Structure 1
């Protein structure tokens, strides 16, 4: 497929796969079908995109050489970043136990579903029991969701896991919870009506590992597993983990690892550190997208012969924030659309339904970060749930009229936003490690606001930059 063909497919896909609510009628996106990820097609068909891919590989190799040579010259040993990875995934056994707990909860849900189907059969014979059975089903789903969340949340709140392990545990917790909701919505009504059979346990387990959050009785499947593709994508995942560890070790820790050891810090030092984090922040942002939504999901799709691999669309070309949020992560967006937006929009209206989608998504992201870092610091909540929501209507029409200008504005926002994230979260993280422990310390109050004290440079005065023209 040529590069123009890929672009045409993306454009046609956007026209044919639109979800909206008009006069109470729900128009859903097309069902699953066999298709590749956009970057897979672009890398295969365009030498330009392949060159950009190679540039990122070269940057990784340069960072690798920088780490090896620097540590060899400075310390007389070779460091390939394994120390940062080992520290980031510390106490992995405890993390595996928490993941296994959620997996067992998900597996235990199937026999509960079978039991509810039996209760539904009884309610068809005795209609007076139907409201009670329906209420029991709703309460049961809520109880299972609470059970899936309560242990990881309490355990991570009681004793903090290292960043990599805690992010994995919390993301898996949300993944299982969202899948259980999807199964409940799809299978709950059929348990009461008896019109359709329940999925087999084999298909249920397949859904739990499939790279989608929407339950269907059937998914398009490919004919064979290309193990070379699986190995290649997992190698990409491993390389990106190294990539982010190099960025953390070479660009973040030199600026923020000592934050809080001194009682005061100059404002200029903070500003310089924040701007220094802009470029590594964006690179990490792009690498994280590619790692999770492309390499990881494509590897599992290949192993499971899952045919539909449109996990994202060409969000990097958009000039409207609403389109960016739809295209960035189609896996989560589809779940939010089907289980929050579509049920609410006819009753609450599209604006309120849209805002609630943003609110739920922003809170979920913030919970993941709070449990992962070990403190509540709602920087992402403000960027995503406040500024992002405001930008949706502001770019709705203007983005169509001036696409090039607003695409540039969006990328400027990505650069600045990621620079702020990669500055404020490390500042708070190291402030809690380096600053003295006080009785007033709180999980919810940022410590970096009070320790250390931010001061201006001694004898600092404002000088008019236009004075040179008045002399």
Structure 2
């Protein structure tokens, strides 16, 4: 009996210790630093109390599916699940595969061997060497511009549906960021060989092809010659992670088809847009928006990235931090996507600090605007029109909150952040839905801004 109590207390200390260790590693983590460690949720799920929260989410999603299944059985006598939305958003898959294959081939071979030829042919000196480097820099810039322009042109030419267009554009950005990291790190080795890097994971020699190939598929955007690796592949973890990705995808489709689309349909069926209908629709989108965000975050940042990390034996699983404990917008954006944050910090933020003579606040503002522009670029290409929703909402509003409340702390601020998140997840999609619907309605239809300024002064009795 005493042995059983001792074992129980040991298990409790081990579970508590795993959580505390995760917290310590996150607190002292540096951007671009790679150390063998598990993802935060992996550590937290060792605690049965935290694991119970996940079980509660699973039970809720099961009830959500059962609700629609029972409703269909009562009204139709069979499941009435349609996949029209899926067929509309995933079409011309063969064109998408061809575009991705060409991009990947060029990124794999053209970029590496082009950089290798430049590095091994620098046998000049003085002005000729500078002209030689400038020539190859121009080639690099032209390649990156081509990687920006050509996929966008192909998406527009073949009118790829939403999911396929998003796949091409996100893969395009992933490869562009990885190419920049690889070229940047190796250019530093070649141009300034005397300045040895303080990073032990970067050698002084030009990287080998197998190192570059591994980096292209590793779940990071920051290139290093050596990453911490695990000794074995745990195939049960691989199947578990990708299995959860599949389940999460089904749940996402369910949320979009049965909770989002009925609200979006109002934008296309209501010929008159009124202030009350706008407010009602935004509130109706909040809960589905939260479900979409939670499922998407867990499915991609935890399951998808951990699945690839396990396959590649990539030991640093810090793909996110505890964004749910954030008390400021800056902390939230730094915490929820570590993969992109590391790239922005290493290759944008640090360079801007040097450019602005150490002005960290101005550098941080520029990074926020740059990130908002990238998001806006993705949405513009996918939807086929340019809007400034992301720039205004996440760029200007996020920048304002960052300036006014840079180091806010406490439970109240955490509640404010957790309240603003559902609002953002409802407002942004609704604005895009309004923009799309406005392109299908007659020109005499009132726009959102007409409603805000024309009807905004109505009395409460009229509303």
Interval containing the TM-score (normalised by the shorter chain): 0.7 to 0.9
* Post-superposition CA distance 1:379-412 (Å, at most 9, x none): 2222211111111133324x23xx1000000001
Indicate whether 1:8 and 2:14 are aligned.
no
Secondary structure class of the residue paired with 2:304: helix
- The unaligned stretches of length 5 or more in structure 2 are 1-12, 195-203
TM-score, with normalisation over the residues of structure 1? 0.85
Distance 1:159 1:447 in 2: 32
Shift of 1:330: 1.0
* Post-superposition CA distance 1:174-211 (Å, at most 9, x none): 00000000011111133345673322222211110000
Closer, same or farther: CA 211–393 of 1 in aligned 2, 3 Å:
same
Closer, same or farther: CA 449–161 of 1 in aligned 2, 3 Å:
farther
The corresponding residue for 1:389 is: 399
Native 8 Å contact 1:81 1:246 kept in 2: no
The corresponding residue for 2:441 is: 435
Shift of 1:243: 1.4
Indicate whether 1:240 and 2:252 are aligned.
no
Closer, same or farther: CA 9–381 of 1 in aligned 2, 3 Å:
farther
Which one of the candidate residues 379, 390, 393 is aligned to 2:389?
Answer: 379
Closer, same or farther: CA 62–452 of 1 in aligned 2, 3 Å:
farther
Native 8 Å contact 1:265 1:455 kept in 2: no
Native 8 Å contact 2:32 2:343 kept in 1: no
The corresponding residue for 1:326 is: 334
Distance 2:26 2:236 in 1: 31
Structure 2 counterparts to residues 13-28 of structure 1, below 5 A: 13-18=25-30
The corresponding residue for 1:202 is: 210
The corresponding residue for 2:271 is: 263
Native 8 Å contact 1:35 1:310 kept in 2: yes
Distance 2:84 2:72 in 1: 12
- The unaligned stretches of length 5 or more in structure 1 are 19-28, 441-445, 466-471
Shift of 1:313: 0.8
Secondary structure class of the residue paired with 2:268: coil
The corresponding residue for 1:306 is: 314
Structure 2 counterparts to residues 57-68 of structure 1, below 5 A: 57-68=58-69
Closer, same or farther: CA 184–153 of 1 in aligned 2, 3 Å:
same
Distance 1:327 1:263 in 2: 41
Shift of 1:267: 3.2
Closer, same or farther: CA 452–384 of 1 in aligned 2, 3 Å:
closer
Closer, same or farther: CA 163–79 of 1 in aligned 2, 3 Å:
farther
Shift of 1:160: 3.2
Secondary structure class of the residue paired with 2:153: helix
Shift of 1:79: 4.0
Closer, same or farther: CA 16–258 of 1 in aligned 2, 3 Å:
closer
The corresponding residue for 2:235 is: 227
Closer, same or farther: CA 361–81 of 1 in aligned 2, 3 Å:
farther
Shift of 1:262: 4.4
Shift of 1:70: 3.4
**Aligned residue-pair number:** 438
* Post-superposition CA distance 1:146-180 (Å, at most 9, x none): 12111111122344322222222111110000000
The corresponding residue for 2:128 is: 129
The corresponding residue for 2:173 is: 174
Answer with 9-18 or 167-176: which moved more: 9-18
The corresponding residue for 1:21 is: none
Closer, same or farther: CA 452–319 of 1 in aligned 2, 3 Å:
closer
The corresponding residue for 1:351 is: 361
The corresponding residue for 1:424 is: 431
Runs of 4+ in 1 over 6 A off after TM superposition: 450-456
Distance 1:167 1:284 in 2: 16
The corresponding residue for 1:25 is: none
Shift of 1:118: 2.2
Shift of 1:116: 0.5
Closer, same or farther: CA 69–152 of 1 in aligned 2, 3 Å:
farther
Native 8 Å contact 2:272 2:446 kept in 1: no
Closer, same or farther: CA 462–170 of 1 in aligned 2, 3 Å:
same
Secondary structure class of the residue paired with 1:259: helix
Closer, same or farther: CA 135–247 of 1 in aligned 2, 3 Å:
same
* Post-superposition CA distance 1:273-321 (Å, at most 9, x none): 2111111111111221112211110010001010100011111112122
CA-based RMSD of the aligned residues comes to 2.9
Closer, same or farther: CA 185–418 of 1 in aligned 2, 3 Å:
same
Native 8 Å contact 1:32 1:308 kept in 2: yes
The corresponding residue for 1:360 is: 370
Shift of 1:132: 1.1
Shift of 1:340: 0.8
The corresponding residue for 1:32 is: 34
